[in-house]
Structure 1
Amino acid sequence: MRVGNVHECQRFRLPAQIIADFQPVRNDRSEMLNVIGHLVCFMRREHPCMIEVAEPYLCRLCPLQECSGLRPLEDRQRVFVQEFKSGEVLADRGEDVIVEGRIAPNLFTILEGVFIRYRTMEDGRRQIVNFMFPGDLVGLQAAFEEPSAHTVETLIPGRLCRFRREDFTSLMREHPRLGFDVTWLAAQEENALEGHIVSLGQRNAKERLVYLAVWLLDRALSTCMANEDNILEIAITQAQIADMLGLSLVHTNRTIRALDKEGLVEWAQREICVPDMAKAADFAGFDRPRNAERPFI
């Protein structure tokens, strides 16, 4: 589709704002790129490409039960969750699982991969508010038939366990312990957000980056995504780091290089390494949880 051709936009039934945006961009490269970005986001959200898993895990064979930081389900709970579960899907990098402003028909538990949760402003800027790891529950707002206040996007290609929204009340009614676990997960999400808010308001650039690196690695270690060498293989761009921490791209780049020289955090293109977790946690004021097993559904 040729950029600037409004009739082509209309033929593809694009939103009025995108159609309007195409008119002034013929001679403005930056504006053209901005419009293309909006177009790509729109097409991706309108036509999700998550793939149905032909042979989903049986709950008794769920790989999450082998993770040291996650609490295995009891036998009775596994039987119920097996009935509660409606399937599994695969999501590629960049795909949206939950879309801001919409009521999602399903909830998900992350089995594999890492996801980002963010909110978007009207002008296209976004704020990443959290990262989500295996065992995390995605789309809780949908259970209460509320439009999602955020988008959840795949960062590392992932696999998700899917649950029907309309079955959520039976989980709360028939298994109060699982209902308590859902409440606990929501409370832990709030705790994580508080830590990130403190970073934005009080920590300097180095402290923000170290805090984020330690937090990511701590979550990865508890979900079997990182090894004992304190290395997490994850492709986070500097732009995504900047979106999370409220820093400019230039400031982010300079801070990453400074931390690498100081030996606190080694932030490469496709991996994060924190050589000394205790030292880094002390530097950033991060309190690592001790012997805490997270529940999952």
Structure 2
Amino acid sequence: MAPRSPAGSSTTPCEKCPLRRMPHFRDFSGSELAFVSRFKTGELTVEPGALILMEGSHSAHLYTVLDGWGFRYKTLEDGRRQILNYLMPGDLVGLQGTVMGEMQHSVEALSPVTLCVFERGRLNNLFTDHPTLAYDLTWIAASEERMLDSHLLSIGRRTALERAAYLIAFLYSKARAVNLLGKEDTLPVTQQHVADTLGLSIVHTNKTLRKLSDRNLLRWTDKGCLVLDEAGLAAVAGWDGDDKQSRPFI
């Protein structure tokens, strides 16, 4: 089950949503903004390490990340974990459960996370009354598919060094676009997160990341991974980066 919002917590009006001020996101029309304001039922604040959604669960809600980091993952019966992707502000959470009936993966908070909450049962109104928002939802799903294609290519064909460089460059680029890095260019991931994303052992991951550190491309601190040279990481991975066009969110 999703965590409850703490008593007395404030809710950000959609008209004052901080994501709307970012050039990374396209703005809403007046009618779209009015609908999303009605569609939103509240906010949830989630602590690091808490489950937002569990594989096999049924949720009555959809969520958009307003602030913070999370990740999607699947686990095998023996507890081995595969991280599928990372969630940042503007990302939609729970659409798969809405379409498929139950969640096929779990979602965990990596940092303190604030989520906008939407009633799943009102999603049909979005499709019938606001076709541009419905297209945005399709765009979001297609964009997620494209990112998973890139991740699969990385795991299937890139070397361990290229995989690690791609992942760090990808996370850094995505976080920078949504002003999530703060004063330091630090990603709040551990080497275990990296290993579970790349499908490598923790020992192999440690040796691989040390090679990138020796090239002065990154450095590990108590807070996570400090990126020193984004362009250098992208060059090692042979990755040109994502499109710079503004993207929608709900």
Tell me which interval the TM-score lies in, with the shorter structure as reference length: over 0.9
Instruction: Tell me: CA distance 1:52–1:283, structure 2 relative to 1, closer, same or farther (3 Å).
Output: farther
- C-alpha displacement of 1:289: 2.7
Equivalent position of 1:245 in the other structure: 198
Equivalent position of 2:18 in the other structure: 63
Matches within 5 A, 1:129-140: 129-140=84-95
CA contact (8 A) 2:190 2:224 kept: no
Larger Rg: 1
Which of 140, 147, 151 pairs up with 1:185? 140
String of CA shifts for 1:176-225, please: whole Å, max 9, x gaps.
Answer: 10110111111111111111111111111111111000000110111111
- Which secondary structure does the structure 2 equivalent of 1:156 belong to? coil
Which 5+ residue runs of structure 2 have no aligned equivalent? none
Equivalent position of 1:42 in the other structure: none
Q: Distance in 2 between matches of 1:52 and 1:65?
A: 26
Instruction: Tell me: CA distance 1:165–1:67, structure 2 relative to 1, closer, same or farther (3 Å).
Output: same
Q: TM-score, normalised by structure 2?
A: 0.94
Q: Is the deviation greater in 108-117 or in 272-281? A: 272-281
Instruction: Tell me: CA distance 1:186–1:257, structure 2 relative to 1, closer, same or farther (3 Å).
Output: same
Q: Distance in 1 between matches of 2:120 and 2:82?
A: 27
Equivalent position of 1:19 in the other structure: none
- C-alpha displacement of 1:145: 5.2
Instruction: Tell me: CA distance 1:192–1:53, structure 2 relative to 1, closer, same or farther (3 Å).
Output: farther
**Residue 88, structure 1, aligned to residue 37, structure 2:** no
- Which secondary structure does the structure 2 equivalent of 1:252 belong to? helix
Q: Percent identity?
A: 39
String of CA shifts for 1:141-169, please: whole Å, max 9, x gaps.
Answer: 23225111100100011100000110011
Higher RCO structure, 1 or 2 (CA under 8 Å, sep 6+): 2
Equivalent position of 2:240 in the other structure: 287
CA contact (8 A) 1:53 1:89 kept: no
Matches within 5 A, 1:98-113: 98-113=53-68
Q: Distance in 2 between matches of 1:195 and 1:73?
A: 29
- C-alpha displacement of 1:52: 5.8
CA contact (8 A) 2:53 2:106 kept: yes
Equivalent position of 1:126 in the other structure: 81
- Which secondary structure does the structure 2 equivalent of 1:215 belong to? helix
Equivalent position of 1:9 in the other structure: none
- C-alpha displacement of 1:293: 1.0
Which 5+ residue runs of structure 1 have no aligned equivalent? 1-44
